[in-house]
Chain A
Amino acid sequence: MRKMLAALVVLLMLGAFGAGATKAAGAGTLVVTSYGGPWEQFLRKEILPGFESETGAKVELSVGLSRDWVAKIRAAGRNNPPFDVIIANTTWVSAIRKEGFFTKLTPEAVPNLKDVWPELRIKDDMGVISLVGPLGIAYRTDLITKVPKSWKDLWDPAYKGKLVIYSIANSANPMFTMLVSRIFKGNDRDIDFAISKIAELRPFRQTDFSGDMEILLTRGESEVGILDAPAASRLKSQGVPIQWVFPREGVFMFEQDTNVLAGSTNKELAFKFVNYFLSKPVQEKWSASFWWTPANKTVKIAGKLATEIPVHTQAQIRQIMRWDWDWVNAGAREQMIDKWNREIVGR
């Protein structure tokens, strides 16, 4: 009887751990990151099947947000990455790029690199920006009469109490902070000034993520916000009375910074995936159904689409503000979080 029970215990333990070990990713499986919601659905339905039938490989998606993936990649270490390809915002990805987590994309492995706008290539091709969601100002056409034209207009008393701004947990926040420093001070690095300046905008709603930004604007909780053009075009198509503005000082972007992990055991396939993602037909799909600005310069944007994708010519792409991520990652990020917490949050 005693033996039976002991055996039962052992069996249970084995069963417990066996249950977890049902499947490990095989050799022909590629693990790629994906945001949730419509992005994931579109990826699964429209983008992945083509790649899978072309290569015979299987793509598994790791759904979440940039900062969670970066946390996982760091926790896992260089040699054992949880993903093969990460597509995420530069705000997060730049930190681990600097620490050597990614591998170089060569023109041989990724021939479509040559079709990417030079502005969207990354130094040494340690990754590439594959899609761009330009961030400008969006306002409710039915609630706002005074149309904002520049970033500085956000400080107009007419918008007091009607603003929504990305919180420090969102990729856009560090960029917005640097933007404020740039437009008022002429350089990106005056964090203290920028955050005090943002504090002048209070009271404003804060939001962690783009979906929530959309909710607030859609429901009229807030009337003016920082929104990416693809979201604005999508909301418009759903009948929300909203208009996107290209501010006078320029736009910044939610960029899809696409990288192959250096520790990936499946690099060949990973390069093929990046190449496929940059290919004209795939990029066309993203812009036609999702209004993302394609990185591939051979994609033609014309007619109605040209107004729905307000940033698509080289001249417009040049107007996207770029940032010194090395500086951000060498301590400025922590300083921004700290200052933001003290100045804006919970006083």
Chain B
Amino acid sequence: MAGIDAAFPARPAAARGRFSWLWTLIVPSMLLLVVFFLVPYLNMVRMSFLLKPADGPYLPQFTLNNYAKAVLDPFHWRVLFRTFWMAGLTTVLTLIFGYPLAYHLTAASGRRKRWLLMLIIAPLLMSVVVRGFAWLILLGRVGLVNQVAHWLTGRELVLIGTPTAVMIGLVHVFIPFMALSIAGALSNISPDVIQAARSLSASPWRTFWRIVWPLSLPGVQAGGLLVFILAVSSYVIPILLGNSNVLVMPMLIVQTLLDAFNWPLGSALSMVFFGLTAATVAVFLRMMGRAMGWTRA
């Protein structure tokens, strides 16, 4: 996780002894995390190695069957693949839409900036559930989008129940996260640097690509990471807009755990899913780390 490290440059620790009691500051958070996060998940790991009898949740008997079932079934890989490409594309799209928003926001000032910021935050303040239902109305067969499409092309679009609809919902939910992350990075760029580039008669386009973009990469990384992780694990939006037709991993896992009553297999599927998410994030961070190193050099 070198990327996260980069955002926190090392600081010299305080003189030894003088603040030795300071470690108590971290104790409550760690206690909370160990007891209510680590232990429950370890319990789930244990569950993934237990036997599922035909009638009942699990038996305390060690088996690797759940993992065999989770990994060897090509159907699970199809669902995993769909989940990851949808999250990946969502991340890219939020970047494409979020960047101009962030750029525009940082360039504004005073009251205007305040209002623009408010507009970006506003969607975050409406429950995801309600936004999901709103998109359900908008994208439906008789919804506004389809009315416009019908008027333009004379054809009816089937949107609900397709990956497209899910993606529209996800992009909508996550643009603010991306935009705010990038805006944070952009606002850290000193105007002097840009001024300097300009005075060296660099074109705005060149200034952007050589100065602004590289300096905003930490924000892109932070936003990308956040959006990807939230998108890959999103549940409500795929359910509502995918209309039970776009099966993604969190849905499959919840279904296995709650509908099929198969806790051991559900836990094993979760572990596989975590493993792959972590691996993807690691690759992403490496790539970003390299990109940032390269542009800086």
Cβ-neighbour of B160 out of A12, A205, A338, A342 (below 8 A):
A205
Contact B244 A168 (CB under 8 A): yes
A221 to B259 CA separation, bound complex (whole angstroms):
27
Instruction: Give residues 61-110 of A contacting B (CB, 8 Å).
Output: 67-68, 70-71, 74, 95, 98-99
| B295 interface contact, C-beta 8 A | no
A330 to B54 CA separation, bound complex (whole angstroms):
6
Contact B252 A206 (CB under 8 A): no
* A219 in contact with B24 given A337-B255, A345-B245 (CB within 8 Å): no
Collect the chain A residues with CB atoms within 8 Å of residue B137's CB: 219
Collect the chain B residues with CB atoms within 8 Å of residue A272's CB: none
Contact B55 A330 (CB under 8 A): yes
Cβ-neighbour of B255 out of A5, A169, A207, A221 (below 8 A):
A169
Q: Chain B 110-148, CB within 8 Å of chain A: the 1/0 string?
A: 000000000000000000000000001100111000000
Collect the chain A residues with CB atoms within 8 Å of residue B239's CB: 208
Collect the chain A residues with CB atoms within 8 Å of residue B252's CB: 341
Contact A74 B261 (CB under 8 A): yes
| B56 interface contact, C-beta 8 A | yes
A6 to B25 CA separation, bound complex (whole angstroms):
9
Contact B142 A220 (CB under 8 A): yes
Report which residue of A12, A331, A346 has the largest number of chain B beta carbons within 10 angstroms of its beta carbon: A346
A95 to B78 CA separation, bound complex (whole angstroms):
30
* A168 in contact with B255 given A208-B239, A221-B142 (CB within 8 Å): yes
Chain A min CB distance to B55 (Å): 6
CB closest residue in chain B, given A222: B141
Contact A74 B243 (CB under 8 A): no
Collect the chain A residues with CB atoms within 8 Å of residue B262's CB: 334
Chain A min CB distance to B257 (Å): 7
A67 to B256 CA separation, bound complex (whole angstroms):
12
Contact B24 A208 (CB under 8 A): no
Report which residue of B245, B247, B259 has the largest number of chain A beta carbons within 10 angstroms of its beta carbon: B259
CB closest residue in chain A, given B261: A95
Cβ-neighbour of B21 out of A5, A333, A344 (below 8 A):
A5
Contact A346 B243 (CB under 8 A): no
| B217 interface contact, C-beta 8 A | no
A338 to B259 CA separation, bound complex (whole angstroms):
11
Q: Chain B 258-276, CB within 8 Å of chain A: the 1/0 string?
A: 1111100000000000000
- Total B residues in contact with A, Cβ cutoff 8 Å: 36
A219 to B139 CA separation, bound complex (whole angstroms):
12
| A329 interface contact, C-beta 8 A | yes
Chain B min CB distance to A105 (Å): 23
CB closest residue in chain A, given B27: A9
Cβ-neighbour of A169 out of B54, B78, B259 (below 8 A):
B259
CB closest residue in chain A, given B141: A221
Cβ-neighbour of B54 out of A2, A331, A341 (below 8 A):
A331
| A49 interface contact, C-beta 8 A | no
Q: Chain A 217-235, CB within 8 Å of chain B: the 1/0 string?
A: 0011110000000000000
| B224 interface contact, C-beta 8 A | no
A207 to B140 CA separation, bound complex (whole angstroms):
13
* A168 in contact with B259 given A98-B55, A345-B247, A346-B82 (CB within 8 Å): yes
A128 to B57 CA separation, bound complex (whole angstroms):
25
| B79 interface contact, C-beta 8 A | yes
A345 to B243 CA separation, bound complex (whole angstroms):
10
Contact B260 A207 (CB under 8 A): no
Collect the chain A residues with CB atoms within 8 Å of residue B24's CB: 5-6, 9
Contact A99 B245 (CB under 8 A): no
CB closest residue in chain B, given A166: B244
Collect the chain A residues with CB atoms within 8 Å of residue B98's CB: none
* A219 in contact with B142 given A9-B24, A334-B262 (CB within 8 Å): yes
| A306 interface contact, C-beta 8 A | no
Report which residue of B54, B137, B239, B247 has the largest number of chain A beta carbons within 10 angstroms of its beta carbon: B247
| B158 interface contact, C-beta 8 A | yes
Contact A2 B21 (CB under 8 A): yes
| B31 interface contact, C-beta 8 A | yes
Contact A334 B260 (CB under 8 A): yes
Contact B79 A74 (CB under 8 A): no
A213 to B120 CA separation, bound complex (whole angstroms):
33
Chain A min CB distance to B253 (Å): 12
Q: Chain B 32-56, CB within 8 Å of chain A: the 1/0 string?
A: 0000000000000000000000111
Collect the chain A residues with CB atoms within 8 Å of residue B182's CB: none
Cβ-neighbour of B244 out of A74, A98, A207, A338 (below 8 A):
A207
| A167 interface contact, C-beta 8 A | yes
Collect the chain A residues with CB atoms within 8 Å of residue B79's CB: 346
A215 to B24 CA separation, bound complex (whole angstroms):
54
Chain B min CB distance to A152 (Å): 24
Chain B min CB distance to A240 (Å): 14
Contact A337 B259 (CB under 8 A): yes
Collect the chain A residues with CB atoms within 8 Å of residue B54's CB: 330-331
Provide 16 A-B residue pairs closer than 8 Å at the C-beta atoms, listed in order of the A residue.
Answer: A9-B24, A9-B28, A95-B261, A98-B55, A167-B243, A169-B244, A169-B255, A206-B245, A219-B137, A222-B141, A329-B55, A330-B54, A333-B259, A341-B252, A341-B255, A346-B245
> A residues touching B (Cβ–Cβ < 8 Å)?
2, 5-6, 9, 12-13, 67-68, 70-71, 74, 95, 98-99, 167-169, 203, 205-208, 215, 219-222, 329-331, 333-334, 337-338, 341-342, 344-346
With A5-B24, A208-B239, A220-B141 already in contact, 8 other A-B pairs whose C-beta atoms are closer than 8 Å: A13-B28, A67-B258, A169-B244, A205-B161, A206-B245, A221-B141, A337-B260, A346-B246
- 6 cross-chain pairs, A with B, having the tightest CB-CB distances, nearest first: A167-B244, A346-B247, A206-B244, A2-B21, A334-B260, A345-B247
